[in-house]
Amino acid sequence: MKLYSDNFNDGDKMPQSQVFNGMGYQGDNLSPHLAWQEVPAGTKSFVITCFDPDAPTGSGWWHWGVANLPADCRELPQGAGSGTAPLPAGCVQTRTDFGSSGYGGAAPPKGESHRYIFTLYALDVEHIEVNEQSSGALLGFNVHFHTLASASLTVKYN
């Protein structure tokens, strides 16, 4: 699979539009545009996550999780995870480490450079059992058992 964005390329610095608005930051907190192609045969749904492995927690930081994207979906507009653009019917955004569901942008401790990994998973099931209170770890656990393929984009912010 191939994952791409109109907002950034792999390895770029995260634009201000995707930075958190809070914790000392004044970003727009908009989820990025994401699109994908070359989907494997047998795909029945997709999951998108955004994870910061560099957060000083011992377990990283979940910034976004969207489950149960339909198999015919190939794109999310900027802001779909932030409530300013629509998500496909039946999707669920899981709880981030900010404590609520929906996209939460970059907000590393001042002076630190962090990576933000956006990953698309093609799954062999139409739905996984998660809800708006499910953690990123629970989402990842369910995805693990049903992944056909994945693709990622990594951006940095400091």
- Reported pTM: 0.97
The helix/strand/coil state of 16 is helix
Residue 116, pLDDT score: 98
Phi, psi of 49 (to 5 degrees): -130, 160
| 23-67 residue pLDDT tens | 999 999 999 999 999 999 999 999 999 999 999 999 999 999 999
Rounded to an integer, what distance in angstroms lies between the CA atom of residue 50 and that of residue 22? 18
Rounded to an integer, what distance in angstroms lies between the CA atom of residue 32 and that of residue 16? 11
**20 with 105: CB under 8 angstroms?**
yes
| 74-115 residue pLDDT tens | 999 999 999 999 999 999 999 999 999 999 999 999 999 999
Report the half-sphere exposure of 15 (CA within 13 A, side-chain side).
14
